[in-house]
């Protein structure tokens, strides 16, 4: 294990560029990703706190004037990645995409602060980070919940972080593909196409992206007219946890938090309404088509990470989670294996992702110690056997996707070294 800890550190350092870290050191992801950087920062915090803070501050340099933090920053413009900065064409000094990702960076920042001795210079930097992150969450509340219902919408499947999940199949099926659509993917030249999104799905991803671009990424306008508008339980769980953690940090650094405190209470109240009492699971809601989406995704269990103050509800969720991959050697598949949309190798439609295991583990630690330790052990064992890959088969543990994957290395460091 000591050897693998050193390899984990080396993986992050090899993928590091000037102040930020690539998800993997190859052509598949040649940029800085929002929630990847959060997980990566956590990994750095175990051996270089300044690198951890640098990862976050570099990401925040790409924050838009209205507060949005993009899901991709293209620091190196010499890339053939699709869609790259010229395709997005957002018009900011630091080239970026025009959409965002789950704000897990806030909760991870709090964990880093809580687990480390912070000097005065670092604290000054953290205070500035916290102010910018407050602006980020206020952007979500203003533009992704304009009616102030306490639940945040995503306007593109990529904003969820679990881009190709079958959660999106039904709302995506209603998106009419743009006529004469032309683009050239690079991902299927780097990774086996059997593991990547299908063309029919990518056509719709690009159609939605082009519609956002055509409307100049205007957040107020796009909430009303976007081709895709979904309230997702996984995203909202991360958002609610971020709200709670940010409020703690704001109070710690004597920054006003009253507006966010009111919204957090409303969010906790309304997120529970997405619970299906008969099936003991949460569902997503398609705003555009006014339909519930009930797909057994592991991300539905991110609700545990939100730390909802409801013991009875938590017990029901945990019971259901224990049956999600019951009898399987490897956990957790991104979609329950007995569901019709499950695909063992396809991106986010079956494989195990280390970040999903980590999020659920974090949510379980103070609710079911025995089960959380089981998840931790199973995840560590998987990485010990297979190495730092992007995702893994839930049937045989086969490593797939990108190799030397940064967040797998970073979260391995946390799984092994975090004693809290």
Q: Contact, 340 vs 287, CB < 8 A? A: no
What is the phi/psi pair of residue 182, to 5°?
-130, 135
Q: Which residues pair with 285 in a beta bridge?
A: 231, 292
Q: What is the DSSP letter of 415?
A: H
The C-alpha torsion from 303 through 304 and 309 to 314, rounded to 10°, is: 100
Catalytic residue among 66, 76, 163, 343: 163
Is-catalytic flag, 76? Answer: no
Chain centroid to CA 320: 22
> How far apart, in whole angstroms, are the C-alpha atoms of residue 137 and residue 131?
10
Catalytic residue selected from 201, 232, 390, 414: 390
HSE toward the beta carbon, residue 317, CA cutoff 13 A? 29
Residues 6+ apart with CB under 8 A from 270: 149, 150, 151
Residue 128 bridge partners (DSSP):
none
Beta-bridged to residue 281, according to DSSP, are 276
| Catalytic-residue membership of 178 | no
List the alpha helices (DSSP H) in 226-368.
233-252, 258-271, 311-322, 354-364
Instruction: Supply the residues annotated as catalytic.
Output: 163, 390
């Amino acid at each position: 294990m000591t050897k693998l800890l050193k390899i984990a550190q080396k993986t992050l350092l090899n993928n590091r560029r000037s102040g930020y870290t690539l998800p993997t050191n190859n052509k598949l992801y040649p940029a800085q990703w929002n929630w990847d950087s959060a997980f990566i920062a956590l990994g750095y915090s175990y051996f270089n706190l300044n690198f951890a803070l640098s990862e976050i501050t570099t990401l925040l340099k790409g924050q838009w004037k209205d507060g949005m933090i993009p899901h991709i920053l293209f620091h190196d413009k010499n890339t053939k990645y699709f869609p790259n900065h010229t395709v997005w064409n957002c018009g900011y000094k630091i080239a970026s995409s025009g959409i965002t990702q789950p704000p897990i960076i806030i909760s991870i920042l709090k964990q880093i602060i809580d687990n480390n001795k912070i000097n005065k210079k670092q604290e000054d930097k953290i205070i500035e980070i916290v102010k910018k992150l407050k602006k980020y969450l206020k952007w979500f509340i203003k533009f992704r919940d304009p009616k102030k219902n306490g639940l945040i919408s995503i306007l593109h499947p990529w904003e969820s972080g679990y881009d190709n999940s079958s959660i999106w199949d039904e709302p995506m099926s209603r998106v009419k593909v743009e006529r004469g659509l032309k683009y050239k993917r690079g991902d299927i030249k780097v990774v086996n196409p059997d593991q990547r999104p299908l063309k029919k799905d990518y056509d719709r991803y690009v159609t939605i992206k082009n519609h956002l671009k055509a409307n100049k990424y205007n957040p107020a306008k796009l909430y009303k007219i976007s081709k895709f508008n979904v309230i997702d339980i996984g995203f909202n769980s991360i958002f609610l946890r971020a709200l709670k953690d940010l409020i703690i940090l704001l109070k710690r650094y004597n920054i006003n938090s009253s507006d966010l405190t009111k919204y957090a209470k409303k969010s906790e109240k309304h997120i529970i309404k997405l619970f299906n009492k008969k099936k003991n699971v949460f569902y997503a809601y398609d705003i555009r088509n006014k339909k519930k989406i009930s797909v057994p995704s592991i991300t539905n269990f991110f609700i545990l990470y939100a730390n909802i103050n409801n013991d009875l509800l938590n017990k029901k969720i945990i019971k259901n989670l224990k049956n999600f991959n019951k009898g399987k050697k490897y956990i957790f598949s991104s979609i329950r294996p007995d569901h019709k949309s499950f695909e063992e190798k396809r991106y986010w439609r079956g494989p195990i992702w280390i970040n999903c295991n980590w999020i659920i583990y974090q949510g379980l630690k103070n609710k079911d110690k025995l089960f959380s330790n089981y998840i931790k052990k199973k995840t560590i064992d998987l990485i010990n056997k297979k190495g730092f890959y992007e995702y893994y088969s839930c049937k045989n543990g086969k490593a797939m996707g990108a190799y030397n994957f940064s967040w797998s290395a970073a979260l391995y460091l946390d799984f092994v070294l975090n004693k809290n």
